[in-house]
Structure 1
Amino acid sequence: MAVVNLYCDESCHLQNDGQVAMVLGALICPEARRKSIARKIKDLKQKHAIGAAVEVKWGKVSPAKLPFYLELVDLFFATPELRFRALVVPDKSKLNHAAFNQTHDEFYYKLWYQTLVTLLSRSERFHVYLDKKDTRSEARARKLCEVLGNSRLDFKGEIVARVQHVHSHEVPLFQIADLLIGAISYANRGIATSAAKTAVVERIKANSRLQLTHTTLLREEKLNLLVWRAGVAP
């Protein structure tokens, strides 16, 4: 049975972090293609004089390295095996957890369920990788594994075979996930404070022919978005 890796990351997911938009996202890659795609990322870094061990991410997008980031976007779109799905909450200030009898933490896991459940199938096994961020990471991994397993009656771990935390700077594919999540968050915040970041957003729009601020069709496979609106239960 084929193994599919889901590289899952998030942006501005905390309730009171002062940021407006919240984005959860997963880069989808067959395990069989992981090493060859990682080599392509390494080669692209070498072409642009970026050290192999240097982490590339949305927060580091700059005019000096813009050509590299644009080519990284192009690499994602030129690689048929790579897909991406994200869920966007455009304005966290409009959340009303009390109306749905939930905490922000419970809401967080409901959103991850909505983000990932459509990607799962009984014909494949899934390894879910999360970026190790803080001391709560392990508890979050266990909870997410439980939520996903229950969603497919997968009590034996035959579909979601692994949920594991890794350090994103050690995993090249995680860095593509971070870049796409950052760009989608930037687009949904409606800002243009950085010409380089705006250029990356525009390159993603041009490749996908999407505005990044609206829900796509569910069958949209390459770049699939669910924009969640306040007042609707996840």
Structure 2
Amino acid sequence: MDKTYNIYCDESCHLEHDNQTAMVLGSVWCPFSKREEISKRIREIKQRNNMSPHFEIKWTKVSEGNLRLYMDIIDYFFDDDDLYFRGLVVPNKNVLDHEKFNQTHDEWYYKMYFLLLKMIFEPCNKYNVYIDIKDTTGNTKVIKLHNILCNSAYDYSHNIIQKIQRIHSHESEQLQIADLIIGALSYLFRGLADNKAKVKIIERIKQRTQLSLTKNTLPKAKKFNLLIWDKKEGDE
């Protein structure tokens, strides 16, 4: 019997000329049937921490003053058996040589998205993919990404990857968790440490995963799956 999953994707420092070295793509996913229950639990955590249920969880908002809220969100992610994370980190965009591989940055970006998601897709299941709306991600780009993913998965009729849709992060608690985790990875790989609360969040993720967060997990790791992309391992 097939199951339907929702995948919520976010990205950090993905532009070619943004003066940032590390790029992170990340996805939080859950069974379609559990999406409302998960959203409800996260809103309850916000209220328990004296926040509006509509408060938007964002890495950029992490501070000592709201650290307890963000710690609770991280713990909830790891305690809920229906939530999963897959991340892809490009440690140094400066090593990219698109001209050598006859591609644009956008084309390379699509390849990275495919690498991010291909470990999640299983042909016996169905998937809805939601991507955080950013100024640089237009509808045309999303349609192209859908076609590329479907073709790569031999899903020419779009039966497996049913849709890819742009949404605002304030509309989805799961997307907010993705923002939080990829923000932590980006902060770590950029070598930042000036915000003590953010450092504590990273340490909590390390503690819960028992990982350094700087190396690949096993390819089939399900709860927390991480790929540190190295162009030496293959073509761009």
Higher mean Cα deviation, 184-193 or 206-215? 184-193
* Structure 2 runs not aligned, ≥5 long: none
Given the alignment of the two structures, is residue 221 of structure 1 paired with residue 222 of structure 2, yes or no? yes
What does residue 63 of structure 1 align with? Answer: 64
Q: Is the 8 A contact 2:59 2:184 kept in 1?
A: yes
One-letter code of the match for 1:163? I
Question: 1:200-215 to 2 correspondence within 5 Å?
Answer: 200-215=201-216
Aligned-pair CA distance for 1:193: 1.2
What does residue 113 of structure 1 align with? Answer: 114
Q: Is the 8 A contact 1:188 1:212 kept in 2?
A: no
Given the alignment of the two structures, is residue 22 of structure 1 paired with residue 8 of structure 2, yes or no? no
Cα-to-partner distance string for 1:79-128 (whole Å, 9 max, x where unaligned): 11111001100011111112212111110000001010111111110000
Divergent runs of 4+, >3 A: none
Cα-to-partner distance string for 1:162-219 (whole Å, 9 max, x where unaligned): 1111111111111000000101111111221110000000000000011111111112
In structure 2, C-alpha distance between the alignment counterparts of 1:193 and 1:18, rounded to whole Å: 19
What does residue 170 of structure 2 align with? Answer: 169
TM-score (norm 2): 0.96
* Structure 1 runs not aligned, ≥5 long: none
What does residue 128 of structure 2 align with? Answer: 127
One-letter code of the match for 2:82? E
| CA RMSD between the two structures | 1.1
In structure 2, C-alpha distance between the alignment counterparts of 1:136 and 1:209, rounded to whole Å: 34
What does residue 233 of structure 1 align with? Answer: 235
What does residue 39 of structure 2 align with? Answer: 38
The percentage of counterpart residues that share the same residue type is: 44
Q: Is the 8 A contact 2:63 2:197 kept in 1?
A: yes
Aligned-pair CA distance for 1:224: 0.6
Question: 1:81-160 to 2 correspondence within 5 Å?
Answer: 81-134=82-135, 136-160=137-161
Higher mean Cα deviation, 127-136 or 157-166? 127-136
